Amino acid sequence: MSAKPEVYMEIQKVVIPVAGSGTRLLPATKSQPKEMLPVGRKPVVQYVVEEMVDQGMSKIMFVTGRNKRTIEDHFDRDPELISHLSQIGEEGLLEETDYEKEDARFFYARQMVPKGYHTPAGSGNAVLTAKDFVSSTSFVVALGNTIIRSGNHAGLIRRMVKSHIQNESACTIAVTTVEPDEVSHYGIVSPVGRGRKNFEIDDIVEKPVADEAPSRLAVASRYVFTPEIFDAIERTAPGYRGEVELTDAIRNLIKMGRNVRCVHLTKEEHQYNIGNPESYYRAFIDFALSDQQYGYRIRQHFQQRLRDF
Per-residue pLDDT reduced to its tens digit, 144-197: 999 999 876 568 999 999 999 999 999 999 999 999 999 998 999 999 987 779
DSSP structural state of residue 152: S
Dihedral pair phi/psi, residue 15, rounded to 5°: -110, 125
- d(C-alpha 88, C-alpha 277), whole Å: 37
Question: Rounded to an integer, what is the distance from CA 16 to the centroid of its chain?
Answer: 7
> Measuring CA to CA, which residue among 7, 10, 32, 9 is closest to residue 21?
32
> How much is the pLDDT for 237?
84
What one-letter code names the amino acid at 194? R
Under-70 pLDDT residues of the chain: 1-9, 96-97, 99-102, 113-120, 152-154, 240
- Residue 267 exposure: Cα atoms within 13 Å on the Cβ side: 0
> How much is the pLDDT for 205?
92
- Residue 13 exposure: Cα atoms within 13 Å on the Cβ side: 18
Taking phi first (over 0 means left), then psi (-120 to 50 degrees means alpha), and beta for anything else, what does residue 61 get? beta
> How much is the pLDDT for 94?
72
> How much is the pLDDT for 101?
62
> Measuring CA to CA, which residue among 258, 199, 186 is closest to residue 225?
258
Residue spans of alpha helices (H) in 62-198: 69-75, 79-87, 122-129, 131-134, 156-166
> How much is the pLDDT for 6?
42
Torsion angle defined by CA atoms of residues 223, 24, 62 and 175, in that order, rounded to the nearest 10 degrees: -10
Contacts of 261 (CB under 8 A, 6+ apart): 163, 164, 167, 169, 171, 172, 173, 198, 199, 200, 201
- d(C-alpha 51, C-alpha 146), whole Å: 11
Q: Domain map of the chain by residue range?
A: 13-275
Annotation: CATH topology of 13-275: Spore Coat Polysaccharide Biosynthesis Protein SpsA; Chain A (3.90.550)
> How much is the pLDDT for 257?
93
Burial of 174 per CB tally in 10 Å (0-12, 13-18, 19+)? buried
